[in-house]
């Protein structure tokens, strides 16, 4: 397509009128995704890890109900959490738009799946904070955007309990063995959490080290149960 032709098309059909996943022009009853792409956004199927909700592949994993990664962790380092979608295609596209393209509404299609996996009887949603500098660059925190949408749908309050003590590199860009060191002790607790049951909310769970680091900090300050809820699960090092 020539550049000029493309520009004309962009003017007639602005980007926010097109499906984020396939680019088709949206009908007036569609928002963010076209109906076909929305229907294709399906939760992870089959047997899943009871700790991180990853799909279980090997027979051994299926017998034990836990993935290899979680089995290697000692009991106190296992943060239980739901994660409805694989980090592929439509779900990954929504997360990307939410994170890098300032499209807050991209959280919308992810929320029903996340709500399904929200644990019962918890006190508050806790966003994973960005470092001040990154938050300033980006203008908002995608984890907070997910918390706000989940909060509206579930009536759970948001507790902005964590602060990043130092800038860390983006987990998705690091090798599996670098991720642990990258986020270890990167968070401090800035609100009272004694006796609270908390759900850490984030966009993607990769190795789980970010969530573990947040949970460690919250437990240390007296939280009694900490779970996680992420939109997607990225498979690393398999
Ligand atoms: Zn589409
Ligand atoms: Zn697992």
Same domain as 21, residue 106: no
The token pair that represents 89 in the structure block: 């295609």
User: Quick one: what percent of the chain has pLDDT higher than 90?
Assistant: 68
Task: Tell me what pLDDT residue 67 has.
Answer: 92
Same domain as 93, residue 139: yes
Same domain as 36, residue 48: no
Residue 209 has pLDDT above 70, yes or no: yes
* Those residues with Cβ within 8 angstroms of residue 81's Cβ, 6 or more apart along the chain or in another chain: 51, 52, 53, 200, 205, 208, 211, 227, 228, 229, 230
Q: Show the domain range for 1.
A: 1-40
User: Which ligand has the nearest atom to the CA of 212?
Assistant: 2
How confident is the model over 69-120, as pLDDT tens digits?
899 988 888 999 999 999 988 999 999 999 999 899 999 999 999 999 999 9
How confident is the model over 212-232, as pLDDT tens digits?
999 999 999 999 999 999 999
User: Quick one: what percent of the chain has pLDDT higher than 70?
Assistant: 85
Residue 206 has pLDDT above 50, yes or no: yes
Using the mean position of ligand 2's atoms as its centre, give its distance from the Cα of residue 208 in Å: 9
Same domain as 105, residue 205: yes
Assign 238 a pLDDT band (cuts: 50, 70, 90).
very low
Task: Look over the chain and give the mean of its residue pLDDT values, rounded to a whole number.
Answer: 89
Same domain as 180, residue 129: yes
Task: Tell me what pLDDT residue 183 has.
Answer: 66
Token match 């929305």: residue? 38
Give domain status of residue 60, yes or no.
Answer: yes
Same domain as 193, residue 83: yes
Using the mean position of ligand 1's atoms as its centre, give its distance from the Cα of residue 8 in Å: 21
Same domain as 112, residue 32: no
The arithmetic mean of pLDDT across residues 26-35, rounded, is: 93
User: Which ligand has the nearest atom to the CA of 72?
Assistant: 2
* Those residues with Cβ within 8 angstroms of residue 147's Cβ, 6 or more apart along the chain or in another chain: 125, 126, 127, 158, 201
Same domain as 1, residue 51: no
Same domain as 124, residue 20: no
C-beta of residue 199 within 8 angstroms of C-beta of residue 229: yes
Whether the CA torsion 116, 121, 123, 126 is positive or negative: it is negative
Same domain as 222, residue 108: yes
User: How far apart are the C-alpha atoms of 77 and 147, rounded to whole Å?
Assistant: 24
User: How far apart are the C-alpha atoms of 12 and 180, rounded to whole Å?
Assistant: 47
Same domain as 115, residue 223: yes
Give domain status of residue 238, yes or no.
Answer: no
Number of domains in the chain: 2
Task: Tell me what pLDDT residue 11 has.
Answer: 57
Give domain status of residue 229, yes or no.
Answer: yes
* DSSP 8-class letter at 191: S
Task: Tell me what pLDDT residue 156 has.
Answer: 96
Same domain as 47, residue 36: no
**Based on the number of CB atoms within 10 Å of its own CB, is 26 exposed (0-12), middle (13-18) or buried (19 or more)?**
middle
């Amino acid at each position: 397509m020539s550049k000029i032709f493309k520009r004309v098309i962009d003017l007639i059909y602005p980007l926010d009128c097109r499906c984020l996943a396939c680019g088709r022009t949206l009908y007036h009853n569609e928002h963010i995704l076209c109906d076909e792409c929305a229907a294709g956004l399906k939760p992870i199927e089959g047997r899943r890890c009871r700790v991180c909700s990853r799909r279980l592949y090997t027979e051994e994993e299926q017998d034990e109900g836990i993935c290899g990664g979680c089995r290697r962790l000692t009991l106190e380092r296992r943060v239980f959490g739901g994660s409805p979608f694989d980090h592929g295609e439509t779900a990954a596209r929504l997360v990307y738009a939410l994170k890098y393209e300032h499209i807050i509404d991209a959280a919308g299609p992810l929320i029903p799946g996340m709500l399904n996996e929200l644990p019962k009887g918890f006190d508050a949603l806790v966003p994973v904070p960005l470092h001040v500098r990154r938050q300033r660059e980006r203008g908002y925190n995608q984890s907070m955007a997910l918390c706000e949408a989940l909060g509206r749908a579930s009536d759970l309050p948001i507790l902005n309990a964590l602060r990043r003590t130092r800038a860390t590199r983006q987990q998705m860009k690091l090798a599996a063995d670098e991720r642990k060191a990258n986020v270890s002790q990167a968070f401090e607790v800035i609100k009272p959490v004694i006796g609270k049951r908390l759900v850490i909310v984030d966009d993607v769970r990769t190795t789980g080290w970010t969530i573990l680091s947040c949970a460690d900090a919250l437990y240390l300050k007296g939280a009694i149960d900490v779970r996680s809820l992420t939109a997607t699960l990225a498979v690393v090092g398999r």
